[in-house]
A and B are shown apart, each in its own frame.
Chain A
Amino acid sequence: MINEQVAQKLETQFPGAVIVQEEPVEDCIMLTSDQWQDVAKFLRDDPELKFDSLQCITGVDLGDENPMDVRYNLHSMSLLHKIEIRIPVKKDNPTIPSIEKIWRIGDWFEREVYDMYGIRFEGHRDLRRMLLPEDWEGWPLRKDYETPQTYHGMVVPKVKS
């Protein structure tokens, strides 16, 4: 029930930051992206929370008209509890504040999500592609991605005849 406790705490601290859902999801906290940087700092520094370890950032394309999700897994090394944060972002021109300065590990995590989903992390100091070549076009893990026919003259999707 750590998620509910943290959600309540955040609601009192940052009114409007938590998205209340019709059917409450137990294993995560839904947030809006507006105050995300302040919320993240709070999560890291509050003596009762102390989420000092960002373990993963995941992008999710939920398909069709749904917004995309960015999901953060946080863990506290000293208090040994963990939560998951989910923040929906718009599909056209998706942006979200970067937390790369709050948890330094977020640097490469965010670059990877950017590489695969094209979600721009605003305030990231070096937002480049992580795995794919710099001049690659498109965001491969989006559901509507079309594999290019060629890249620098090499055939990409074709099965050899």
Chain B
Amino acid sequence: MGYLEHKFEDNIIVTKLDKLLSWARSTSPWYFQFGLACCAIEMMAAAASRHDLERIGMMPRSSPRQADVMIVAGTVSIKMAERVKRLYDQMADPKYVIAMGSCATSGGPYWQHGYHVLKGVDLIIPVDVYIPGCPPRPESLIEGLIKLQEKIRGERPLTKEKDA
């Protein structure tokens, strides 16, 4: 503040509505606050004061209705998989999914012998960004989120899709 306040005449900004929309979406992707295993601890650390996800506009929401991004942080057991799918279905469009850690990406340590673990959350819901690591450090998570923001910024929600 201070530098910008009361410095300008009434002004006009020219941009495409399309661009404005995706810019707005990309700068405030609220994420769904839930964790499934140890990776969730790193997600909490990323949200806490040192790394502070709110710097990049990410705020935790406890209801799927208010969330744009689902961070699948942890082991998706087969019992939980159905709940995860239901929560995903309850989120409003546009919605995005981040598979955080090797468990959510591919089953992780339970890849071979885990009778109860889903081998990757992308078997039940579409994933936008995969983050490797066991667990990924908050820096990795933040990089993944920035990648997601880049993806959202590149979207043109109003433009007609070209026939392939």
Residues of A within 8 A of B (CB): 131-133, 140, 145, 147, 151-152, 154-160
Contacts and interface: CB of A to CB of B under 8 A. Distances in A.
A127 to B, nearest CB: 19
A160 B81 contact: no
B112 interface: yes
Interface of B: 78-79, 81-82, 106-107, 111-112, 115-116, 118-120, 123-124
B120 A140 contact: no
Contacts of B111: 159
Contacts of A147: 115
A154 B116 contact: no
Given A140-B115, A140-B116, A132 B79 contact: yes
A159 B78 contact: no
Q: State the main secondary structure of chain B at its contact with A.
A: loop
Given A132-B79, A133-B79, A158-B119, 7 more contacts: A140-B115, A140-B116, A151-B78, A154-B118, A156-B115, A160-B120, A160-B123
30 contacts: A131-B79, A132-B79, A132-B116, A133-B78, A133-B79, A140-B115, A140-B116, A145-B115, A147-B115, A151-B78, A152-B82, A154-B78, A154-B81, A154-B118, A154-B123, A154-B124, A155-B119, A155-B123, A156-B78, A156-B115, A157-B115, A158-B119, A159-B107, A159-B111, A159-B112, A159-B119, A160-B106, A160-B119, A160-B120, A160-B123
A111 to B, nearest CB: 15
A54 to B, nearest CB: 26
A132 B82 CA distance: 13
Nearest to A157: B115
A134 to B, nearest CB: 9
Contacts of B82: 152
Contacts of A155: 119, 123
B115 to A, nearest CB: 4
Residue from B106, B107, B115, B123 having most chain A Cβ neighbours under 10 A? B115
Contacts of A160: 106, 119-120, 123
Contacts of B106: 160
B19 to A, nearest CB: 36
A34 B95 CA distance: 59
A155 B77 CA distance: 12
A131 B112 CA distance: 20
A133 B111 CA distance: 20
A147 B114 CA distance: 9
Nearest to B118: A154
A131 B79 CA distance: 9
Contacts of B79: 131-133
Contacts of A133: 78-79
A40 B106 CA distance: 46
Contacts of B119: 155, 158-160
